[in-house]
Amino acid sequence: MSNINQLRGCGTAIVTPFNNDESIDEIGLKRLVEFQITGGVDFIVACGTTGESVTMSEDEQARVVEICVQAANGRVPIVAGAGGYNTREIIEHIHRFTDLGADAILSVVPYYNKPTQEGMYQHFRAIAENTELPIILYNIPGRCVVNMETPTTVRIAQLPNIIGTKEASGNISQIGEVIAATDESFLVFAGDDSVALPTIALGGVGVISVASNLLPKVVSDLSHACLAGDWDKARKLQRELTPVFKTMFIESNPAPVKAAMASAGLIGETLRLPMVPISDASRAKLQEVLAPFQVTAQAA
């Protein structure tokens, strides 16, 4: 098990590579973990949104977590995504991920059934009471339909094992409010690459990144520069990376980042329905934006 204090800086929300028959590309996943660690990321998040967890069975999710834990071999923490809309089922998943050696859990606000703020609190309370693993909340109203409001986040932060939140609301004001209203020990991560710099400037501790799948070093350099207070370097990197961050969401995540990684020879582009490959127009734009970075499989 890794040092949980490493949970700051840049964490990659790692993609799940699939073979042409849509089975998990286990060799490719191991190679990606190595690519991330060599690139300098601080931790890896498996089975998140970018990892297409909702299209995988429980056994497949467990296998992805197991591979990441084994490949990392204690060098960086592995955070396992365990979310959904059934609290009891999520707790069962967490127990399984615990047995596999996950270092922490990232758990998204329940989606589809649209819980109230009280429902969110009771949901995370039940999870916290049924595991000893550290838990990072995940607020992404664009996918969950509901927003975990600042008072709710602050209330949940008082529960045992709740160590932080991934704020993907895109609302800088809300991110700042959460940081201001919680203890410094509560870890606030940017949930969008584009707001890593302002989030850390406000007192956040890092980013859970999509773009670092392809560019682990430069995205890590950005978060590390911010944490070190080297704002000149951070602003320079932000300017260089802003077009990349935007283009990674030119279509639904993770289709663009998988296309970019496939173009670089890092993985195959296979997605599981209902996700589909990006359009030719989006592909051309992606190639244009990424041309200066010259990522190749030789780096993996």
As annotated, the active-site residues are 138, 166
Nearest to 94 by CA among 112, 111, 109, 79: 79
With a CB cutoff of 8 Å and minimum separation 6, the contacts of 207 are 10, 11, 189, 190, 191, 192, 193, 196, 199, 200, 219, 223
Q: Report d(CA 111, CA 147) in Å as an integer.
A: 10
Measured N-to-C along each axis, helices 26-39 and 58-72 cross at an angle, to the nearest 10 degrees, of 40
Strands (E), 123-267: 135-139, 162-167, 187-190, 206-209
Nearest to 89 by CA among 113, 120, 135, 58: 58
Q: Is the N-terminal amide bond of 17 cis, ω within 30° of 0? A: no
Q: Report d(CA 81, CA 270) in Å as an integer.
A: 21
SS3 state at 122: helix
For residue 232, is it left (φ>0), alpha (ψ between -120 and 50) or beta?
alpha
Question: Where is 107: in which H helix or E strand?
Answer: strand 104-108
Nearest to 257 by CA among 196, 193, 165: 193
**Which residues make beta-bridge pairs with 200?**
none
Structure tokens at 171: 């609302």
Nearest to 191 by CA among 211, 168, 220: 168
